[in-house]
Structure 1
Amino acid sequence: MKVIFEHQSHPAGLGFLIKEYIQPYFTSPFHFHDLYELIWIKKSYGKLYAGKQMMNFQEGDVYLFGPGFGHCFYNEKGFIEQGENAHAVAIFFKDDFLGQGFFENTAYIKIKEVLNKSSFGLQIQYVPPRIYELFEHVTAQSGMDELITFLQLLNEVSRLPPLDIKVLNETQSAMKLTNKDSARLEPVLKYVIENFRDDLDSKTAARLIHLNDAAFCRYFKRRMEQTFSQFVNNVRITHATNLLLNEEWDILRICYECGFKNLSYFNRQFREITGQSPKEYRMAFQGNNQTLVMDNQPD
């Protein structure tokens, strides 16, 4: 899908780059690069593959990814069918865009610490209004004003309490994939994320990248550090966590909605991935006094 509008600053020259994306859905493939990326999801929702994790993303999210951190935002069909445009503002920059060793100065140590952690992938969980304001300003500026606003953004992020910043991976997630691997696996990732409610099998996935089933399973596990079935279950459980917190459906309905055919298997996979049962997960976030809507009742 062609990008409807893209705002790009400094196509050559300065060591940071601002892009504004407005398009029917996010089209960037699963990728990584040698720059830091600070991104605000202004409008959109779906699934984010971040390092080694699959998670939900939504409007208002802000992330910081370090160089080599593999990631991709996939819009859900529900968002695409609404007919609204996805909208994001991303700032790409090098660690030396202000000169070699600039952030080694003790006066800027907090910024350096945040940049170091970004190799694990970071999400700002509680975004203060000031950060949104600075994102809005920076897309409309140029020259020195743009640079100053960007530095203010970095400073605001570095001053956040540690509990407000979620580290997305337990280990450093610089991808083992080459650019060729990334492009090759993209159809497989899209196949799973767009069809996880249906019956999925490795043979169909293998055909997408012109491998036989056995060769595909070896290749996928070696490159993604998990089996194909583990990846499918991660996508399904990620969707389940979203439904548990945002829909008043019973557990059985959520099980089927996420592509599982067996409730006991769904419960087992949910606990293995999240460390909790679906009921415990819901109670932890919403309390234990929720009234569930049963399948035979109107939504």
Structure 2
Amino acid sequence: MKPSLERLPLEQGESFVAKFFDYNFYPTPWHYHPEYEIVLVTESTGKRFIGDHISDFKPGNLALLGPNIPHTYRNEEKFYRKNSKLRAKSFVIHFSEQSLGNDFLQLPEAKPIRQLLLKTSQGLEITGAANIAVSKKLHDIISEKGLRRWHSLLEILTLLAESKKLQPITSTPQIGYNEKESARMCQVFDWLTINYSSAIKLADAAKIAGMNENAFSRFFAQRTRKTFSGFVQEMRLQKAARLLVEDELSVTEICYECGYNNISNFNRQFLNYYSSNPINYKKTFLKRM
């Protein structure tokens, strides 16, 4: 599996990349690149891995990632089935400081954008009115050319710089790794996404990564800021929360569906993570609908 440093090629006469992608499933592995990235999911669901952060993604998720933050979007298993008619679509922009012009960020008028870019080392989640406005701009920018296209990028960055609805994604600043390490992380993430509802053993994950258990434990913790068991638990609890609000399964059924074999332990772990037991979590969600 080839990973890691990803570069979207520039077209002639362009200083940044703006693309619309339409796939059966997102194919890009655990990777990083020196450019800033704006990514809007428009169709498909799955798990998003950004630095030390994992979460579900769905249409409307919009993020701004700083240079060299390792990340990948992994679709749900149903997207990989042979005869699936599901689609994974997204708008993506890759840009650098040079895309804005030499010395542009030193202008006094550019201070808000300069401050915005300084915040991107943890990635930024974009919600609220900024999400709506930037999403519209991303749809428009694909068909634009030349100066008008560059101006739209500047408008997007201005909207983000003025927004109060930007939240850090990762707990600490992140940076990418070499290709061999990225390959290992990608293989482990893919394996976990498929198998997290089954019995997960550290020894099996270490084998996937081609490492002994102790070395893998250190390797994984250094790159995710989480223990391996804690990471798996987080994936399972996030899946459980989604099933609680999207499906008609009972709490007991969800417990086993998410890889737990003890309902008491499931309830305790869910309460610790969400500060609510599963039943109250579902009731609270339904009241907000």
Q: TM-score, normalised by structure 2?
A: 0.86
Does 215-224 or 63-72 show the bigger shift?
215-224
The answer to whether residue 158 in structure 2 is matched with residue 155 in structure 1 is: yes
Find 2:115's aligned residue among 109, 113, 116. Answer: 113
Taking every aligned residue pair, what percent have the same amino acid on both sides?
28
**Which residue of structure 2 aligns with residue 196 of structure 1?**
196
Counterpart of 2:174, as a letter, is S
**Which residue of structure 1 aligns with residue 4 of structure 2?**
none
Q: Secondary structure at the match of 1:29?
A: coil
Distance 1:51 1:251 in 2: 31
Q: TM-score, normalised by structure 1?
A: 0.83
The answer to whether residue 133 in structure 2 is matched with residue 124 in structure 1 is: no
Distance 1:78 1:126, change over 3 A: farther
Distance 1:184 1:239, change over 3 A: same
Counterpart of 1:130, as a letter, is A
Counterpart of 1:170, as a letter, is S
Gaps of 5+ in 2: 2-7
User: Hey, which bits of structure 1, 4+ residues long, moved more than 6 A?
Assistant: none
Distance 2:275 2:50 in 1: 19
Number of residue pairs matched by the alignment: 280
Q: Secondary structure at the match of 2:48?
A: strand
8 Å contact 1:9–1:19 — kept in the other structure?
no
Deviations 1:139-185 (A, max 9, x none): 1122122112222222222233x2x323212322334x333211122
Counterpart of 2:39, as a letter, is I
Q: Secondary structure at the match of 1:144?
A: helix
Distance 2:282 2:11 in 1: 46
Q: Which has the higher helix share?
A: 2
Does 202-211 or 183-192 show the bigger shift?
202-211
1:1-299 equivalence runs, <5 A: 10-11=10-11, 14-81=14-81, 82-126=84-128, 128-160=131-163, 162=164, 164-175=165-176, 177-287=177-287
Q: Secondary structure at the match of 1:69?
A: coil
Aligned-pair RMSD on alpha carbons? 2.5
Distance 1:149 1:196, change over 3 A: same
Gaps of 5+ in 1: 2-7, 291-299
Distance 1:174 1:277, change over 3 A: farther
**Greater RCO, 1 or 2 (C-alpha within 8 Å, sep 6+):** 2
